[in-house]
Amino acid sequence: MTFTHSTAQQPPPAGPVTVPPFAVISGAQVQQALQGREHQIVKLVEAAYRLHAAGESVNPPSVFLRFPDRPSSRIIALPASIGGEGRVDGVKWISSFPQNVADGLPRAAAVLILNDHDTGYPFACMEASIISATRTAASAALAADRLSRGRPRPAHIGFVGTGLIARYIHTFLAGTGWSFDTIGVCDVSADSAAGFRCYLEQSGATGWIAVHDSAEHLIRSSDLVVFATVAGRPHVHDPSWFAHRPLVLHVSLRDLAPEIVLASANIVDDAEHCLRAETSLHLAERRTGNRDFLTGTLESVLAGRVTPPADRTVVFSPFGLGVLDLAVGKFVYDEVAGSGDLQVVDGFFHELRRYG
């Protein structure tokens, strides 16, 4: 297999239909294309949410591959299609193996395949753990900004779970203008909490950094709470911990017991996706038999159709839509192609004549 450098882009819609060149984009290239562009990526994610709400997307349910011999692990396929100026189809294939952390490896690994809109041919395969973390963090930063309007801007943030996703969320918050008087840190692993504290100090984070030995202490002392864990079932059960009505970014989706969900105003990215796969919202629906506890979607807040209440805890639960991965992935592809560093695999598609 040989690689060549090319500036080739997808063929324009008009003219002869040709097979697009197939490129491989490394994690280093992905990171370089995205680094320092927090404002731009948040706007890109917001535009993707609006396209999705307008019906200019296809985002079927994710497919979970689970293993009887490895019950804590899974691999998820997120197929999607998004319209707009950067219309593209594709799929993210992302694994979650929590035991990797003990071996010094990241929990998640992923690739993203982009397919040409006109021919269906794949034209890029790129490292996607960075893309996945980026779109998650951009969504969280967008939600933190929009859902905190109408209430005092949070000055005390707490992170429950201190892995890669927590780091990216903090990076995106800092990169879009947030600063905090205190930053709380809590993790079941003392080493992870210490590592996250080290990251915060090295990143130049302002404010006092406090490592908490319990989620309760962290939640009670934070007006913005980020859940970024690998919890498979609720581990936070007491609604009184939220008596001060914080804004909660429930990124990991399975931390909160149904009684906390039912006592809160709940904003989702997509109800059909969020209320499945044993999420906290799914458990609340099972308990009540309805979805009356949902306040609205993030897009409905962006459009001004829904205003989150200031007198209740507001919980944002994003399932993580494949269309966001596509939007960010297409941005990366265009940036790498525009720089002239696209690594094209010569002759990747071989059988191109129907009858030989």
User: What is the C-alpha separation between 135 and 38, in angstroms, rounded?
Assistant: 10
**Predicted local distance difference test score (pLDDT) of residue 100:** 93
Domain spans, the chain? 3-131+322-345, 136-317
**β-sheet bridge partners, residue 25:** 126
Strand partners, 226: 159, 249
**pLDDT score at 13:** 52
Give the per-residue pLDDT at 1: 47
Its pTM stands at 0.92
Choose among 107, 231, 241, 136: nearest CA to 184. 241
Pair 169, 141: CB distance under 8 Å: yes
Distance CA 129, CA 95 (A): 9
What whole-number distance in Å separates Cα of residue 263 and Cα of residue 242?
Answer: 9
User: What's the pLDDT score for residue 291?
Assistant: 98
Kindly state which CATH superfamily the domain 136-317 is placed in: NAD(P)-binding Rossmann-like Domain (3.40.50.720)
d(CA 167, CA 165): 5
Output the pLDDT for position 14. 55
- Between CA 352 and CA 183 the distance in angstroms is 57
CATH number, span 3-131+322-345: 3.30.1780.10
Query: Which residues of the chain fall short of a pLDDT of 50?
Result: 1-3, 5-8, 11
How does DSSP assign 269-336, residue by residue?
Answer: S-HHHHSSTT-HHHHHHHHHSS-TTEEEEHHHHHTTS----SSS-EEEE----HHHHHHHHHHHHHHH
The tokens describing 7, both together, are 């500036």
